Structure 1
Amino acid sequence: MRLLPMPKEMILKEGSFTILPNTEIVLDASCNSTDLQAALELKKEIVDGLKIDINVNKSLKKENNSIYLRKAKGNSECYKLTVYKEGIEIEAADEAGLFYGIQTLRQIIRNHGVCIPALVINDEPYFAFRGFYHDVTRGKVPTLETLKELADRAAFYKLNQIQLYVEHTFAFKNLTEVWMGADPLTAEEIILFDEYCKQRHIELVPSLSTFGHLYMALRNKSFRHLCELEIEDKPYSWYDRMAHHTLDVSNPESIDFVKNMLEEFIPLFSSDKFNICCDETFDLGEGKNKALADKVGKGQLYVNFLNKVIDIVKAQDKKVMFWGDIILHHPELFDQIPKDVICLNWNYAADPVEINVEIMAKSGLQQYVCPGVGGWNMIMNSFESAFPNIKTMVNHGKKHKAVGVLNTDWGDYGHINLFGNSMPGMIYGAALSWNPDYDEEFSKVDESISLLEYGDKTESLVGILREISRQQTVNHGEIVWWKDNKFLGFPEISEEKKKEYFTTDNEKVIKAHDRALELSEELIKVSREVSSLRTIDIEEFYVSARGVALLNALSLIIRKYDFGREGSALIYSPKEMASLLEKWIADYSKVWRERNKESELYRIRDFYMDICDYLKTL
């Protein structure tokens, strides 16, 4: 049986129960309106998947030929699911447990249809906090409907936290010049999404950049005086926005700027937590505060400002989270950080080291381990690095008693990676967050996700996506580095550094191009087996496969004409390449708009149109 997460204990029995048109979903009399909503979700699964329109009822006692839902004593979020010849019973200690038992039953139905095998499942989560972190700030702002879809998917796999990464993509009342042109999330959208999440037992934890990564604010004339480095008028650059723009910690206006944002943002969320970020403060002590950093140390500068932000948030009675990358370089300063904050300990390598998780565990601070779904800078997520990363980070968290897992989905360099491509990684992270002892081969995990998430009875869809990801001999991030260097002059890339770019053997690049196009056709064939609810995902997968092929072909042109490498074979002439890229961008724009606001799509379009114009001159 394919279940994600795999239950803690499952005992198969002899016999089965058949769901019939006269079967009822029966709530115990003690069940409330929240439980009723979960029962209606189960009814929808049966109606949509089995084409049987069964009724929902309430009763003082269990009845035969029913799916009986009741409350019992036990731990929060745990449940017991029993299938016997006369019916099905789900019992749980609270609404969340009953909801999770229903999600498991929904998955069993997707495995077996109307004939449910007799079994007993006793289940509870290993990690108390199981989250997904979604970037909504680096170019792509989802619609409210897309956010609701994310919550539905997360809840189905028993995640109980979602965080949305925000730098400038919230409509702050007094920061119009910062978010203008970004189609930001509004206060009403966040309030509505917060309530939608609560109904699915998901805590929407606010996340706001409050120290580094403030490019869109600090490049504006009204706020650039708050930047650690002196800001000049320069063209927009994806590379530059990732590399700089940290607040000047010595300017009292900096903390006022942060305080104003926080006091407007905090009230929108019902969560008792707040993620202040404070990661990758690359420029700290490199500009206006260099003399001070030389005197007291960059670590001390960091902790001093961090604690100011912590105090603002704690004054609103919120538990503070922050990213741990900077403080891990200064373990001697751990004792200056309040012990009631939570450190978000991230590492996205395919084989992430254990030492940082161990160091944090010894510091006395609570921590979440934070792996990633590997989509940033990529057209198709890198399954080959993301899945091992998730598995290993969760294992580190289990070993060192982390309180949670926060699986991340970033959108560096314009957020070209599409929503659907991140879902397999999100699901795998959810499975391990609930049950870290789940230890299937990745090919088997792919099959389970194909069936449960996409309704693909061939169980091949996610395996095709994994194979597409393997064809990326060049990624979008490398194209960005090349173009920003060639046309904007940064990042500066030496001739020696250029030798590291686009080095895959020509024949391998050509084979990868051809294989990506073959796989795009395989996607179309298997799409007939996929649930109609996942049509947009298929569109995203298809345009991604074509994008992988085209970037491979583009890399051959770059190294022949720009790097002057002899013997570089081409798949298309430069002008043919330009035409194909233009058609692809049109299709990409269409799928972008299916799930997202217009937001900063124009940056991706203009980026590749500039490349097309260049190709036409060759």
Structure 2
Amino acid sequence: MNINLIPQPQYVQTRETGLITGVPTWQVELHTPSADLRLSALSASIFGEVTETVISGDCYALVSTGLPLNLRMAQRVQGRNDGYVLILDKSHLEIYALSASGLFYGLKTLEQLLRNGNGSIPALTIIDWADLRLRSDYLDLRTVYPTFELILQYVAELSSYKINTLVVEYEDKLPFRKLSLLRHPEFAFTEVEHRLLLQTAYDNFITIIPKQQSFGHLEYILKHPAYISLRETPESVAELCPNRAGSFEMMAEILEEVASFHPDSEYLHLGCDEVWSLGTCADCRQSGLTREASFIRFVNRLVEKTVSLGKKPMIWHDMLMHATVEEIAALDKRVLVVVWIYGGHRMKADARQILHKLQDAGIEIMGASSVRCWDDNGDQNYPVIHNRINNILDWVELVQSEQLYGIIHTNWACPFSLGSPYGLFETSRYPAFFAADHSWNFHADTHSFLERFLGQFHGVLIEELPLEEWNDYVVTDYYQLIPQILPSITQNRLTAELIDAMIQFEIPAQRRSPLQTFLFRGVLSPDSEEVFTFLRDKYKSGYGDLMKAKQNMQTVLAKLLPPSMTELFIMSRFYRPELFEANLREIITDLAILDTETG
């Protein structure tokens, strides 16, 4: 039996004693130094009868009822992140850990084994731990994102993949009280919903890091008449002037509210990336500071405010790339700088350069890969997977060589708030859980991930697929495989249907001689029978398939998004093809007749 787990454990030893069944019917004892409702709930969800006992010391254990505790087993993961030992034999089960999170992840591994084996598990020993202390996913609540009910499901799901941190970019979705004008009129969380989000994260050993942009990407704030005057320039709708009276006071007030909504969060991410127009207004020029010095001076004020709120501030690195050694020396050492570099042939070299620059200045650092980002394809319908896999692996290599303790695997919904949305969040689970696999285990097997993901996430057994040459498929083939294996998918089927709908759209819109690539010939040759016959034929085939794809996409999106988000996404994909169609109708006046003839 294959132990197709995600993340892949550090050490697994199976024993040839046949499969064990009926484990959920066993009576077990939960031993903890203090009561933990999270461990109680997860144990009760797996086993029919759980007896709980508080024990002295720092060990956590779950064992078959009546089995003597062997707490020395927990020492095998001493000094490891979230480590656990799981031992399963025909007659008994033992799970030991030195932390509540370690025991939780041991139970999650058991849960995954039971699900993958339909209740049957081989006798085995697993000794496992996380190579990274901080393993973060990212939830971007700009433009298009899941419904609240689905968000809660996704947050809970993260724990199955042993992700322990979630950065949430709320934008205008927080239930602001004092600054109520910042609340989105339709999609802002209620206070009850937000508390439920935080509780769901806590219940699954996930730490929420709130992200509050504080310098750039402030479209949703600087659009309000009360704040328009704080823009760097009237045209820079997203960027704050740091030298304008009122700029810091506005951000300080916002940070106070954000911090108050997250009393248990250690970090507060301030953003501060891509402030492209910084230094161009009269106030900045009159300050006498360089662009970088002006940036650092304002960041230091934000850092001081954040620390006063009991939070550790984070910022992105990019505005420091060209700062001098002397300028970086002025940066407040209480800030953590997250270096995000998502690709390019110099990715690792550029990352090391800025990492070393910051380390030499005594600045705490962390890395950030991306599971969904621009990738020179703003109209992507799902992540550009070969770039994302390479970027994740590059960062896994970097955190080892540079001895970093965490990676934030960013997941962008769009390039900026007013931009076209990328493919839906659901399409990003493949690279997100690939990142989780390698954040937990630096040496997880890349080649087997596709098979492990199809089994774990989609309930697909490779041996049951109608594929002749499985060994020819590689980790980057996931998206293109989905239409072929869709009939065999039993879990997360809606995600598969979404990916299939995107591919069915891409075929007529981008891949199979899309009309816009040769529409110009109708303008150049208005009297050519050959050209017009060709255009009529392409219209009949291409636009017929495109409209079918639109109907299919609308059906799938209606199950995942509220109506206004569905409308926005559909328009982002079909606005241009429909413009081309309108242009064609001006050139060829009998298309309405063709529509009638073809139905």
Q: Given the two structures, how large is their TM-score scaled by the length of structure 1?
A: 0.79
CA distance in 2, matches of 1:279, 1:200: 30
Aligned-pair CA distance for 1:330: 1.3
Given candidates 372, 392, 402, the residue that maps to 1:400 is 402
CA distance in 1, matches of 2:266, 2:462: 43
User: What is the identity percentage for the equivalent residue pairs of Structure 1 and Structure 2?
Assistant: 20
The answer for the alignment partner of 1:97 in structure 2 is 102
The answer for the alignment partner of 1:505 in structure 2 is none
The answer for the alignment partner of 1:343 in structure 2 is 337
Aligned-pair CA distance for 1:90: 0.7
The answer for the alignment partner of 1:371 in structure 2 is 369
Aligned-pair CA distance for 1:106: 2.2
Map 1:137-536; keep pairs closer than 5 Å: 137=142, 139-173=143-177, 179-180=183-184, 183-231=187-235, 245-269=238-262, 270-289=264-283, 291-292=285-286, 295-332=288-325, 333-349=327-343, 352-357=347-352, 358-359=355-356, 360-374=358-372, 376=374, 377=378, 378-412=380-414, 413-441=419-447, 444-458=448-462, 466-467=476-477, 521-527=483-489, 530-531=490-491, 534-536=492-494
The answer to whether the 8 A contact 1:84-1:119 is kept is yes
1:549 aligns with 2:507: yes
Given candidates 122, 125, 148, the residue that maps to 1:117 is 122
2:88 is paired with a residue whose SS is strand
2:559 is paired with a residue whose SS is helix
CA offsets 1:231-290 (integer angstroms, 9 cap, x no match): 4xxxxxxxxxxx862101111211122122211121112211110111111111123445
Greater displacement, 187-196 / 395-404: 187-196
- In structure 2, relative to structure 1, the CA distance for the partners of 1:16 and 1:364 (3 Å cut) is farther
CA offsets 1:519-564 (integer angstroms, 9 cap, x no match): 664243233xx22xx1321221221211222331588433323598
What is the one-letter code of the residue matched to 2:198?
D
CA distance in 2, matches of 1:389, 1:255: 35
Map 1:20-39; keep pairs closer than 5 Å: 20=22, 23-30=25-32, 32-39=36-43
- In structure 2, relative to structure 1, the CA distance for the partners of 1:154 and 1:256 (3 Å cut) is same
What is the one-letter code of the residue matched to 1:526?
S
CA offsets 1:170-192 (integer angstroms, 9 cap, x no match): 34346566554562333332221
CA distance in 1, matches of 2:537, 2:193: 45
Aligned-pair CA distance for 1:309: 1.4
CA distance in 1, matches of 2:203, 2:10: 25
What is the one-letter code of the residue matched to 2:87?
T
- In structure 2, relative to structure 1, the CA distance for the partners of 1:349 and 1:67 (3 Å cut) is farther
CA distance in 1, matches of 2:84, 2:23: 26
CA distance in 2, matches of 1:549, 1:116: 43
- In structure 2, relative to structure 1, the CA distance for the partners of 1:375 and 1:547 (3 Å cut) is farther
The answer to whether the 8 A contact 2:421-2:572 is kept is no
CA distance in 2, matches of 1:13, 1:257: 63
CA offsets 1:542-601 (integer angstroms, 9 cap, x no match): 212112223315884333235989999879745765565455444434433433444544
- In structure 2, relative to structure 1, the CA distance for the partners of 1:264 and 1:63 (3 Å cut) is closer
2:239 is paired with a residue whose SS is coil
The answer for the alignment partner of 1:617 in structure 2 is 583
Aligned-pair CA distance for 1:2: 1.5
CA distance in 2, matches of 1:298, 1:334: 12
- In structure 2, relative to structure 1, the CA distance for the partners of 1:105 and 1:172 (3 Å cut) is same
Aligned-pair CA distance for 1:87: 1.7
The answer for the alignment partner of 1:603 in structure 2 is 568
- In structure 2, relative to structure 1, the CA distance for the partners of 1:542 and 1:556 (3 Å cut) is closer
Given candidates 515, 518, 537, the residue that maps to 1:560 is 518
Aligned-pair CA distance for 1:337: 2.0
CA distance in 2, matches of 1:465, 1:392: 16
2:333 is paired with a residue whose SS is coil
- In structure 2, relative to structure 1, the CA distance for the partners of 1:590 and 1:305 (3 Å cut) is farther
Given candidates 493, 517, 540, the residue that maps to 2:498 is 540
Greater displacement, 444-453 / 257-266: 257-266
What is the one-letter code of the residue matched to 1:432?
H
The answer to whether the 8 A contact 2:83-2:130 is kept is yes
- In structure 2, relative to structure 1, the CA distance for the partners of 1:432 and 1:68 (3 Å cut) is farther
- In structure 2, relative to structure 1, the CA distance for the partners of 1:604 and 1:292 (3 Å cut) is farther
CA distance in 1, matches of 2:563, 2:305: 34
The answer for the alignment partner of 2:588 in structure 1 is none
CA distance in 1, matches of 2:460, 2:70: 29
What is the one-letter code of the residue matched to 1:249?
P
CA distance in 1, matches of 2:146, 2:517: 36
Question: Superposition RMSD on alpha carbons, in Å?
Answer: 3.4
Aligned-pair CA distance for 1:430: 0.7
CA distance in 1, matches of 2:70, 2:160: 18
The answer for the alignment partner of 1:487 in structure 2 is none
- In structure 2, relative to structure 1, the CA distance for the partners of 1:607 and 1:381 (3 Å cut) is closer
Higher gyration radius (CA): 2
The answer to whether the 8 A contact 1:7-1:121 is kept is yes
- In structure 2, relative to structure 1, the CA distance for the partners of 1:196 and 1:62 (3 Å cut) is closer
CA distance in 1, matches of 2:9, 2:268: 31
The answer to whether the 8 A contact 1:245-1:283 is kept is no
1:124 is paired with a residue whose SS is strand
Aligned-pair CA distance for 1:411: 1.4
2:318 is paired with a residue whose SS is coil
Query: What 5-or-longer segments of structure 2 have no aligned partner?
Result: 56-61, 585-599
CA offsets 1:93-134 (integer angstroms, 9 cap, x no match): 222111100121223234444442222222111111110012
The answer to whether the 8 A contact 1:17-1:83 is kept is no
- In structure 2, relative to structure 1, the CA distance for the partners of 1:571 and 1:126 (3 Å cut) is farther
What is the one-letter code of the residue matched to 1:346?
W
Greater displacement, 110-119 / 571-580: 571-580
Q: Given the two structures, how large is their TM-score scaled by the length of structure 2?
A: 0.81
CA offsets 1:369-408 (integer angstroms, 9 cap, x no match): 1111135531021111111110111110121011211111
What is the one-letter code of the residue matched to 1:127?
L
Aligned-pair CA distance for 1:40: 2.8
2:583 is paired with a residue whose SS is coil
1:96 is paired with a residue whose SS is helix
1:119 is paired with a residue whose SS is strand
Aligned-pair CA distance for 1:57: 3.9
The answer to whether the 8 A contact 2:413-2:424 is kept is no
1:198 is paired with a residue whose SS is helix
What is the one-letter code of the residue matched to 1:538?
A
The answer to whether the 8 A contact 1:372-1:389 is kept is yes
The answer to whether the 8 A contact 1:162-1:205 is kept is yes
Query: What 5-or-longer segments of structure 1 have no aligned partner?
Result: 44-53, 232-242, 470-515
What is the one-letter code of the residue matched to 1:367?
I
- In structure 2, relative to structure 1, the CA distance for the partners of 1:445 and 1:298 (3 Å cut) is same
2:420 is paired with a residue whose SS is helix
- In structure 2, relative to structure 1, the CA distance for the partners of 1:25 and 1:271 (3 Å cut) is farther
The answer to whether the 8 A contact 2:413-2:425 is kept is no
What is the one-letter code of the residue matched to 2:110?
L
The answer to whether the 8 A contact 2:343-2:387 is kept is yes
What is the one-letter code of the residue matched to 2:446?
E
